[in-house]
Structure formats: structure tokens, C-alpha cells
Amino acid sequence: MAWYIGRRLLQMIPVFLGATLLIYFMVFALAGDPIAALGGERGLNPAVAAQLREHYHLNQPFLVQYLLWLKGLLTFDFGTSFSGRPVRDVMAGAFPVTIQLAFVALFFEAVFGIAVGLVSGLRKGKLFDSTFLIVSLVVIAVPVFVIGFTMQFLVGVKLGWLPPTVGGNVNIRTLLMPGIVLGSVSFAYVLRLTRTSVAENMTADFVRTATAKGLTRRRVVTVHVLRNSLIPVVTFLGADLGGLMGGAIVTEGIFNIPGVGNTLYHAIQQSEAPTVVSMVTVLVMVYIFANLLVDLLYAALDPRIRYA
């Protein structure tokens, strides 16, 4: 087990280097000169622009910039943003917010997705199943910003049930609506995965055996069917955590959430390489760790899997 984890941790190094290099390259290759925008509508005096370019190492070749960034990383110095803030502080402000948002979304999609999926799977073809199957398809097919704007106006403004934006008040009440919007597509996936998986397992031999053994239906469903059906669902949820954090760009914009997505989007627009690369790096790490966690969870869910 320890050997397995150790090997997985070692494998992260090339993924980490590869992903950061790739991102750094993409940001570097971005068309446009980040300094050009700093002057606003009137542009910037060339002499001042040249000074700024030198200050941010923007006149250095790509590889030098990347290595400078890596070097800083060793001392937890992620560089500074154009507004003069250390990127470390920028991240320390943004990540907690997005983590909370992602967990609200994850909680929503996991609980409701699995619950609805379970019932649908048990009653495949019935009205409940068909209804939610259509709901899930619609949720996938309608772009998330349409869902977001509609909910914000209806629930936030018209009905006044929940605050329409988050801003500085990051708490469960304000994050509830954005969390549901963010998790809506994944909710549809979880529902569909659980449904299929449950329906499949219901006809599996071990379920038949368990039923034959005289176990109550309740026990068969919760212990045998659900536990086995959760394996693909857990895989999906694990991979989704990283996606939720990085993919919250649209949701965070609509609900004015000062999180990773918003910060990243603006950093990308301003070609702030240190901010973009550092934040994406953390996202990549989250993704890798979540996957490791998922693999370890497998062992807990499926006794047949053992890691050596």
C-alpha cells in the first residue's frame, strides 16, 4: 500500500512539470502584450512600457521565464501580479472560496444524483425514471449560463429566497444557488451513472444470491447494489472535483464569486503568466490527488481490489 502511494506520488512529478510547462507555454504564446493594456484607452508611453516589461521579465525568452518561475516556486514565491500583490496572496484569497463552492456543488450532485439515480435504477422505465431522465438530458443540453441567469433572476431577485450574488459573504446560504448551478451538469451525469449501474447490478448474480439468501430488499439494495454501483460514480466525482474548481469560470462570473474561476479568467485576459500558471498548477495537483484518493476508495468499496 505504502509502495503504491509512493509510486503514484512519484508519477506526479512528470505530470506536474508537463502541465506547468504546457500552461506556461500557452500563456506565453498568448497574442498581445500584457503591458499594452495597462495604459488603458490612451495607450502607454513606450519608455514606461519598456521599464515595466523589464520589471516582469517579459523581455526574456520563454524558457528563462519558465525557469525563473520554477525557481521561485522552490521558495514558495509564485511571483507577483500586475497589481503588485504576491500571487501567493491572490491564491490564498481565491482558493478557499472556490473550494467551498466546489464542495457545495459536489455535495449537491453526489447526494441528489445518487439518490435520484438509485430510485430511477430500481424503477427503470417507470414514470419517475423517465421524468428524471428527461430532466437530466435537458440539464446537459442547456448551456449552464442560461440556467445560471434564469435561476439568479427568479430565485434571487423575483422571489428573493436567496441572495443573487455572493461577493464578500461566502457562506452556505449565498453559495447554495451557485453551487447547484455549478453542479447541475454533473448532477445529471451522476444520476445517469448511478441509474445504469444500479440497474445492471440488480440483475447481477451476487444480488440474486443475496436475495435468495433471504436478505430483505432494503439490505440487498443498500449493502450490495448501492455499494457496488458507487464505484463508477466515485470515479466520476473524484475527477469532477478538479473540473468543478477550474470550470467555475462561468458560474463565478454570474454570481460574482471572488474565487479561482473569476481570478483566473481575468488573469488570462491580462496575460498574467505567474497568476495563471500558479493557479492552474494547484488545480492540476488537486486533480491528481483527487484521483489518488479515488483509487484508494476503490479498495474500500470493492474488496476484490488490493493495492500492492
Q: Could you say which residues in the range 91-110 bind another protein, by CB under 8 A? A: 93-94
Candidate ranges 66-74, 207-215, 221-229, 276-284; the one touching another protein (CB under 8 A)? 276-284
Helices (H) and strands (E) counted in the chain, each on its own, are 14, 0
Q: Is 154 in the site for another protein (CB under 8 A)?
A: no
Q: Determine if 5 is a binding residue for another protein (CB under 8 A).
A: no
Among 42, 213, 218, 304, the residue binding another protein under the rule CB under 8 A is 42
Can you name the residues that pair with 86 across neighbouring β-strands? 80
Distance CA 299, CA 290 (A): 15
Contact in structure between 251 and 108 (CB atoms under 8 Å): no
Q: How many residues contact another protein, by CB under 8 A?
A: 94
Residue with smaller CB distance to another protein, 104 or 195: 195
DSSP 91-134: HHHHHHHHHHHHHHHHHHHHHHHHHHHHHHHHTTTSHHHHHHHH
How would you class 127 by CB atoms within 10 Å of its CB: exposed for 0-12, middle for 13-18, buried for 19 or more?
Answer: exposed
Stretch that binds another protein, among 66-74, 86-94, 209-217, 226-234 (CB under 8 A): 86-94
- Scanning 98-106, 115-123, 156-164, 294-302 for contacts with another protein by CB under 8 A, the matching segment is 156-164
Say if residues 286 and 29 touch (Cβ distance below 8 Å). no
User: C-beta of 164: minimal distance to another protein in Å?
Assistant: 4
CB of 308 to another protein, least distance (A): 16
Query: Which region among 67-75, 88-96, 206-214, 223-231 touches another protein (by CB under 8 A)?
Result: 88-96
104: cell is 457545495
CB atoms within 10 A of CB 194: 26
Site string for another protein, 167-196 (x = CB under 8 A): xx---------------------------x
Measured CA angle at 281 (ends 279, 286), to 5 deg: 95
Best CA proximity match to 167, nearest among 67, 253, 295: 253
Q: By CB under 8 A, what part of segment 16-35 binds another protein? A: 18-19, 22-23, 26-27, 29-34
Residues 285-304 that bind another protein (CB under 8 A): 287-288
In DSSP terms, which residues pair with 80 in a beta bridge? 86
Report if residue 66 touches another protein, rule: CB under 8 A: no
Kindly tell me which residue out of 198, 276, 282, 294 binds another protein, with binding defined by CB under 8 A: 276
List 9, 89, 171, 305, residue binding another protein (CB under 8 A): 89
For residue 60, the SS3 value is coil
Contacting another protein (CB under 8 A), which of 63, 64, 111, 137? 137
